[in-house]
Amino acid sequence: MLQAEGLAKTFTLHLKDGLRLPVLSDMSFTVTSDEAVALTGPSGSGKSTLMRMLYANYRCDAGVLNVRHQGDWVNLADASARMVRTVRRETIGYVSQFLRVIPRVPTLQVVAEPLIERGAEEGHASRRASELLERLNIPAKLWDLSPVTFSGGEQQRVNIARGFAAPYPILLLDEPTASLDAENRQVVINMICEARDAGTAIVGIFHDTPARNAVCTREIDLAEKAAA
Amino acid sequence: MNGSRETDSPILLAEAVSKAYGEQLGCVDISFELWPGEVLAIVGESGSGKTTLLNCLSAQLMPDRGSARYHRRNDGLRDIYAMSEAERRFLMRTDWAFVHQNPRDGLRMNVSAGANVGERLMAVGARHYGDIRARAVDWMEKVEVDTSRIDHFPRTFSGGMQQRLQIARNLVTGPRLVFMDEPTGGLDVSVQARLLDLIRGLVTRLQLSVIIVTHDLAVARLLAHRMMVMRDGRVVEQGLTDQVLDDPQHAYTQLLVSSVLQA
Ligand SMILES: Nc1ncnc2c1ncn2[C@@H]1O[C@H](COP(=O)(O)OP(=O)(O)OP(=O)(O)O)[C@@H](O)[C@H]1O
Ligand SMILES: [Mg+2]
């Protein structure tokens, strides 16, 4: 589903006299469907950076990042903005570490949005959104409110619900179980395993070792790959 | 369903658009594509040429060089600068809309709110008074302006209401391409949030193509799929909005991003 070949990333901080921060170099790996791959390595080793590159949120300085999109391979490292948007809508889901809240948009709509963007009918989209929110134990009385005032754990569960609303062939998860209590952590782990078993290719960052062991079939250790 | 949303042609294709005011640079060599349903933000500090570019793209100002080809409903891509004045005026009344920063420039302050909306309809041939009024009421509801004020003059409205009315007046004729120049500038933060929310909803529901000028990166983050960063009349960086804001490459973009609390 995903083939990375020679990916590299160096941040150039122009406001600090052009200071260069090499983070990743020569990263090559593949991820097939029904695999769940954990990115591991110490803090600062570039796990989130790589994950953002896989979502084209960060640019790749070098390399090829082929993604299986509607039967074709698309190289996200040099795809047009328009192509990236299509790939994000149809093929790659991303659950970021923190929910980016848009003021005034109710929770149910935040979760249903990815389906609406794909052209799903509104009733169907909100039914699916309610199912997910229910499963993730977000009380129904909160669904009409914007998540702005929610607790960290509640926001993270809304974020997960949103990430799982549409059936993406590839799912990127940046610490999805952080800031969750034991019960909700188990719900999320179950959801990830179900997606994996249904053929979704998963790439995740899990600081929580039991969660990682429950979900992941393989690890990619960034410490070994750290840039020189 | 996606098929109906994606055509194989951009709605606007700008190539090397340049405009100078004597010695003074307006905008230099601007090229980009805008696709149907896409929102493009033009950001940069004041004086960077954003409004000059927007005025060129909407044919309110003739550039010195370059072309801007617009995809008309029936005859494909046509250079707007090569069209007759009458053709351009027709586009502005039908396919295009322009939302000004100052509602005074986009509304007639001394005709009623209802007439402000109805006027655009009459300009495209609507004649039946009842229909026109019904559609004005419908649009006032869509933009959350109290319909009991349909016969009041916009000058008696608050800034936020005036701006929402300006949007109603612009969208009532079903345009495909909307130009916006700092539509939330000069409004209180809470009023701004409500207006942004409204614009965001309308753009998605109506699948509008939008070019929006703003100096506010948070506005770009919220509304735009893509953005273009301008400095001294030139585009220094462009791309997906989240990519440009989260991983800015150019020194000037890094400065802009680091100057705001959180965009
Ligand atoms: N947008 C950015 N601009 C500049 N530097 C960045 C940017 N994003 C990340 N970095 C730098 O890249 C390095 C790797 O960071 P990253 O967040 O990928 O680490 P991580 O492995 O996810 O760490 P953690 O386990 O703490 O989450 C850090 O030095 C970080 O400061
Ligand atoms: Mg991280």
Q: Which of B222, B247, B257 to mutate to test the interface with A (most CBs of A within 10 A)?
A: B247
B242, A57: Cβ pair inside 8 Å? yes
Q: What percent of chain A has pLDDT over 70?
A: 98
Domain ranges of chain A: 32-51+81-227
Pocket-testing residue among A7, A15, A43, A48, ligand 1, by greatest number of atoms within 8 A of Cβ: A48
Domain ranges of chain B: 96-174
pTM above 0.80, yes or no: yes
Q: In 10 A of CB A217, how many CB atoms?
A: 13
pLDDT in tens, A3-16: 999 999 999 999 99
For A113, the closest chain B residue by CA position comes to B204
Average pLDDT over every residue of A196-224: 93
d(CA A123, CA B173) in angstroms, rounded, equals 28
| pLDDT beneath 70, residues of chain B | 1-7, 261-263
pLDDT in tens, B23-57: 788 899 999 999 999 999 999 988 888 999 999 99
d(CA A161, CA A112) in angstroms, rounded, equals 9
**Roughly what angle, to the nearest 10 degrees, separates helices A107-117 and A122-135?**
130
d(CA A100, CA B222) in angstroms, rounded, equals 10
User: Closest partner residue to B255 among A15, A81, A104, by Cβ?
Assistant: A15
Kindly write down the DSSP assignment for every residue of chain B, as one continuous string: -HHHH--SS-SEEEEEEEEEETTEEEEEEEEEEE-TT-EEEEE--TTSSHHHHHHHHTTSS--SEEEEEEEETTTEEEEGGGS-HHHHHHHHHTTEEEE-SSHHHHS-TTS-HHHHHHHHHHHTT---HHHHHHHHHHHHHHTT--GGGTTS-GGGS-HHHHHHHHHHHHHTT--SEEEEESTTTTS-HHHHHHHHHHHHHHHHHHT-EEEEE-S-HHHHHHH-SEEEEEETTEEEEEEEHHHHHHS--SHHHHHHHHTSS--
Instruction: Please give the CATH superfamily to which domain A32-51+81-227 belongs.
Output: P-loop containing nucleotide triphosphate hydrolases (3.40.50.300)
What is the arrangement of strands in the sheet containing A201-205, beginning at the earlier edge strand?
Answer: A92-95, A170-174, A201-205, A36-40, A218-221
pLDDT in tens, A133-171: 999 999 999 999 999 999 999 999 999 999 999 999 999
pLDDT at A214: 93
Q: What is the 3-state secondary structure (H, E, C) of B170-185?
A: HHCCCCCEEEEECCCC
- Quote the tokens at residue B168: 């109603």
